[in-house]
Structure 1
Amino acid sequence: MLDTRQRTTALLVAACFFMEMLDGTIVATAAPQMAASLDTTPGSVGLVITVYLLTLAVLIPLSGWLTARYGARRIFLTAIVLFTLASAGCAASGDLGVLVAMRVLQGAGGAMMVPVGRLLVLDGAAKTDIPKIMAYIVWPGLMAPVVAPLLGGVLTTYASWHWMFLVNLPLGAAAFAVARRLVSAGPTVTPPPLDVPGVLLGCTGLAALTWAAHLVAETDSGWRSAAAVGAVAVLALGAAWRHLLRTAHPLVNLRTLDVVTFRAAVTGGSLFWIVVGSMPFLLPLLFQEVFGWSAVKSGAVVLFVFVGNIGIKPATTPLINRFGFRPLLLVSTVGLACAVAGCALLTAATPLAVTAALVTLGGAARSLGLTCYSTIAFSEVTSERLRDANALSVTANQLAAGLAVAVATIALRLGGSFQDTPSGAYAVAFCLLGAVCLLPAAGALRLRDGAGDAVRTRRAEPAPQGQARAAVSDSRKSE
């Protein structure tokens, strides 16, 4: 059972996660207004999104080493301050160059804030408390991409784009005040020397991969430039993988992948994250470009994803305790695949209730799946390897979330090559993404029965009737 401190810390980290994810997606809705205000083009504003995601991807692997070197409390508080001040700097930016620089600082704060915060919650927690902890932490990350289009549209319509960053100031101040009182210093250790080759190779590969994803998502970018940057990413990441497996003190310990449940969460969970992240991007485009809906109506319908998230959330931990991870991962991955592929059948004439129901089903499946993946990831990881596993898990999740829009864009472009109509292109894209979601379903099938049971809390099964009578008889004889 979680005590008050654990529950409050989990909610604090959840709020930080929400801020980080929201700022990664909300800017897209205000690109035209920001471009006019900064005297640049809407396409250039895309750089504001990319540098933020790029900084997150590059610096998250360093979180584990920095935590060991300077202590979790110091890094966590510094990250909150940096993220909040950088948000104020973004709002005060008068030109694109300053805004991009502030977004880099904001990404640096976010890269430390969430991984270290999650480690604070997990460190020392009982295995059976992990499902509840991860249930608290996961749902804000699911809510932010869904709320962002509507919130961004409202803020830019009735206020200005600056308020997308100003809303972080009271949230950051409150988070700092709570964290300063709640989070204890804890013991510090002397970490091994920083793995400089791992930093250079890993950061180069992650940065190149994120930039290649940006080039793919840009409609006016050529395939050659994206392929060239992608090739650099593959080479750098391949060299980093080889180095990290051979060095004595790697920046990110890939040896944690020898834990079967953790490996399944990293691989299957990353593919699941890609599909999850692609839907808040594709659905508004379908509703507005093909169905001709307004931004407000489109955003309101997409919010039903959040309805599904919230509707299933109270039941996730009881379901895990009752049925285990393998059956629930199969249900969630296949359920999300069916919901995503089902969007291919939507038309402007589809009753709104049917569309909302399908979107709600997808929201429930993604919430259940991500909670299961986030929980089973640490179910069999020892406390000595928790810091390494946490850094690798957060890096993989963030990278998958950053690649989601690029994968959705590729699926849409492939759909356009097979179908002449916009609706047909979207239908193919949804079917392709549904097929991607079947890959983690195949991974879930390979899990053994009872995988992750260390974090489950199960009721004691009643003894058979005959045994119960014998126990009562023995008790009476002893009296």
Structure 2
Amino acid sequence: MPSDTVLGAETTSRAPAPAYRITALIVASALFMEQLDATVLATALPTMSKSFGVSPLDMSVALTGYLLSLAVFIPASGWIADRFGARNVFGAAIAIFMAGSLLCAQAHNLPFLVFARVLQGLGGAMMVPVGRLVILKSVPRADFVSAMAWVMVPALIGPVIGPMVGGFIVTYLDWRWIFYVNLPLGVIGILLASHYIDNVREEIRRPFDVIGLFLSGTSLASLLFAFETGGRGAASPRTALVLLAVGVVTGALYIAHARRHAAPILDLTLMRLKTFRLSVLAGGLARITAGAMPFLLPMMMQLGFGMSAAHSGLVTFVSAAGAMAMKASAAPILRRFGFRNTLIWNSVVASAFLAIYATFRPDWPLAAIYVVLLIGGFSQSLQFTAYNTIAYAEVERDRMSAATSFYTTMQQMMLSAGICVSAAVLHMAVALSGRETPVMADFSAAFLTVTSISLLAAFVCARLPRDAGDDLTGRAPAEDAAH
């Protein structure tokens, strides 16, 4: 049984390779459960909308509500893990996620489903960043890329089989089984964590920033609800503007508060670190597109192509398969070309293939769609592996908790924004045409909108130093490589 591990401000640890791989696989099991849930749900939304008697576009709030909960509660994850121990928090987070899943399965209307998804988000807000924090605090810097790959590869199995599982469940079973499958997975995760994860925590006790959590949570929630409800036309323009104003004002108040507080819930001084700042900005632009894909692709295949949920799942899983295939290539590619060159050029390649998604039509050969989705998934996964690693290149080990909370909050915010943006474009296209449901041209507009946003990341990545992150990959300096 692992014991409590107290880390002081100057304490570092180097876990042997097998040890950190076991820990990474356990963390990945939690990511697997979360990603499976997200991709299965995205595939099932059109079917669930019929059960609840609402428009398929209105179901986007079920995705947004979960991501919103993540964004609100993730800032507290670092402090809670340092205070109570990573293993304790990780296990409790899985239990909360399971409870939310059980309530989701009992939902009989959309508002109750959204409430249950928010509870799921509370569990996910602790589960994912705390798991990542354990890895960052126990792995030497030179192994960061490999450790992240170990974490992500099993987790990507969720998106690979998610569309197929979701399609099978809603076609041949009741959609409620989407949430029941989380229960045995959660039990396994809790048992493994209790046996193999150390209860890593910090010796220094920082005061909990209650005011900061309130201000940041209010700001993030108001902004997302303004974009989500305004984009779908679910709220009047006046209501959306009020929410937007509340979000901006409380955000400004939080910034003023964070400058005075000794240990703010979101440490804005981390943005002074160049690699961290550029990863947050460029990764945020790219994640808007990533957040839109699980919402747009299954809906386009079912509403635009006329496929069943099961058939659409078989098609869209190829993108996740491409993402999983990339993980073995990440370290060699980054070692050969460096973070800067990889992120610049891969941003262009990933955006180009995402733009091709907008040209998909029912008369396309399935083989051609498979090739585009496979390469698109490969390039997107390479991009996010690089972002998730370079973000911590300049972060000292005693600031990892704060950095993980901040980075994961921004990550989830941008994923939520992707759903909001794509849903808003679809809604506007449908409203302008006078139709009740979107057609292929409407999906094309949504794909091109989010793709144009992700392309901007290439210009941000160009500001990275040429040697950024070389110590994370073992890459030789350019002058040494020439000899």
Asked if 1:66 is matched to 2:80, the reply is: yes
Structure 1 spans left out of the alignment, 5+ residues: 468-479
Q: Who is 1:104 aligned against?
A: 118
Contact kept, 8 Å, 1:142 with 1:367, in 2: the verdict is: no
Query: Structure 1 residues 51, 21: closer, same or farther in 2, change over 3 A?
Result: same
Q: 1:130 aligns with which of 139, 144, 148?
A: 144
Q: Who is 1:424 aligned against?
A: 441
Q: Tell me the TM-score normalised to structure 1 length.
A: 0.87
Contact kept, 8 Å, 2:171 with 2:309, in 1: the verdict is: no
User: How many Å apart are 1:175 and its aligned residue?
Assistant: 0.9
Cα distance in 2 for residues equivalent to 1:3 and 1:53: 33
Q: Who is 2:400 aligned against?
A: 386
Query: Structure 1 residues 296, 446: closer, same or farther in 2, change over 3 A?
Result: same
SS state of the match for residue 446, structure 1? coil
SS state of the match for residue 348, structure 1? coil
Q: 1:198 aligns with which of 203, 212, 219?
A: 212
SS state of the match for residue 186, structure 1? strand
Contact kept, 8 Å, 2:86 with 2:130, in 1: the verdict is: yes
Mapping 1:293-442, distance limit 5 Å: 293-413=307-427, 422-442=439-459
SS state of the match for residue 199, structure 2? coil
Cα distance in 1 for residues equivalent to 2:270 and 2:418: 25
User: How many Å apart are 1:377 and its aligned residue?
Assistant: 0.7
Cα distance in 1 for residues equivalent to 2:31 and 2:371: 27
Moved more, 275-284 or 322-331: 275-284
Q: 2:469 aligns with which of 443, 452, 465?
A: 452
Moved more, 424-433 or 106-115: 424-433
User: How many Å apart are 1:118 and its aligned residue?
Assistant: 0.7
Asked if 1:256 is matched to 2:270, the reply is: yes
Q: 1:185 aligns with which of 158, 182, 199?
A: 199
Larger radius of gyration between Structure 1 and Structure 2:
1
Cα distance in 2 for residues equivalent to 1:48 and 1:431: 24
User: How many Å apart are 1:21 and its aligned residue?
Assistant: 3.4
Moved more, 194-203 or 132-141: 132-141
Cα distance in 1 for residues equivalent to 2:244 and 2:156: 28
Contact kept, 8 Å, 2:25 with 2:150, in 1: the verdict is: yes
User: How many Å apart are 1:103 and its aligned residue?
Assistant: 3.4
SS state of the match for residue 193, structure 1? coil
String of CA shifts for 1:11-44, please: whole Å, max 9, x gaps: 211221232234345335445765777x775678
Query: Structure 1 residues 408, 160: closer, same or farther in 2, change over 3 A?
Result: same
Contact kept, 8 Å, 1:414 with 1:429, in 2: the verdict is: no
SS state of the match for residue 77, structure 1? helix
Q: Tell me the TM-score normalised to structure 2 length.
A: 0.86
Cα distance in 2 for residues equivalent to 1:240 and 1:338: 38
SS state of the match for residue 240, structure 1? helix
Asked if 1:55 is matched to 2:69, the reply is: yes
Contact kept, 8 Å, 2:159 with 2:317, in 1: the verdict is: no
Cα distance in 2 for residues equivalent to 1:17 and 1:190: 29
Moved more, 2-11 or 389-398: 2-11
Cα distance in 2 for residues equivalent to 1:250 and 1:244: 5
String of CA shifts for 1:417-474, please: whole Å, max 9, x gaps: 8989944333333332222112110011111111111201237999999x9xxxxxxx
Query: Structure 1 residues 246, 439: closer, same or farther in 2, change over 3 A?
Result: farther
Amino acid across the alignment from 2:210 = V
Query: Structure 1 residues 86, 351: closer, same or farther in 2, change over 3 A?
Result: closer
Query: Structure 1 residues 320, 292: closer, same or farther in 2, change over 3 A?
Result: same
Cα distance in 1 for residues equivalent to 2:157 and 2:280: 21
Q: Who is 1:208 aligned against?
A: 222
Query: Structure 1 residues 321, 286: closer, same or farther in 2, change over 3 A?
Result: same
Cα distance in 1 for residues equivalent to 2:363 and 2:356: 15
Q: 1:76 aligns with which of 64, 78, 90?
A: 90
Structure 2 spans left out of the alignment, 5+ residues: 1-14
String of CA shifts for 1:176-219, please: whole Å, max 9, x gaps: 11111111223542422221221111010111123224314536
Cα distance in 1 for residues equivalent to 2:280 and 2:157: 21
Amino acid across the alignment from 1:254 = L
Q: Who is 1:472 aligned against?
A: none
